[in-house]
Amino acid sequence: MASGRLTRVVVLDFDGTLIDSNSLKYQAFFQLFPDESTQGIVRSVLDEMFEASRYEILAEILARCGHSQSEDLQAEVQFLAAAFNEIVVAGAKRCREIEGAVQALKYLSSRVRLYVSSTTPEEALKEIIAFRGWSGYFVDVFGYPRKKVETLAAIIEREQVGSDMVVVVGDGESDRVSAEKNHCAFIPVHGAFPFAEVARLIEGD
């Protein structure tokens, strides 16, 4: 980041960045396909595209299980997505937060314009955030069907700042790619929230 250009906007991923829900989401797919014959297919699809939306993942699992591309497939995807949503939302409301997440939210929301950008469906995402009492920390919350690259570009335009004043924080490749394509700084999450790294960009060296 250029000297003197301190961060004014921070965009956070949600699952794996603020709450420890990635394993919850991973296991939910296996709950939807409990037959032993489909477990290998589910595992293979998740290994390849875990960061994709649940709709894309479910469609791919069904396709590999032999479902043809048709209206029936789309109806099945919607049915399974609704069941997946019930499992995940219930768990995400109560699962543990990532270490340092609440401290980071309090710190960041008092100093920068703070957003969430996630692949979780937007309505469910807002429901989880509201349940946890976090809504007041964010300027806005964005989820599926929005794409992270386009969401970040829209946030930059909305805030009327240069990309060198925006930081993306997340645990996934989609977060890194969104930052790279919009020429923003990216700070990865590995277990605990990277508080010191984010604070350094906001407060300066």
Per domain, the residue ranges of the chain are: 9-20+97-203, 22-94
| Token couple for 2 | 């250029």
pLDDT level of residue 139 (50, 70, 90 thresholds): very high
What is the reported pLDDT for 155? 98
pTM value?
A: 0.89
The answer to whether the CB of 17 falls within 8 A of the CB of 171 is yes
* CATH number corresponding to 9-20+97-203: 3.40.50.1000
Six-digit token pair at 195? 């508080």
pLDDT band at 204, cuts 50/70/90? confident
Spell out the residues 6+ positions from residue 5 whose beta carbon is closer than 8 angstroms to its own: 162, 164, 165
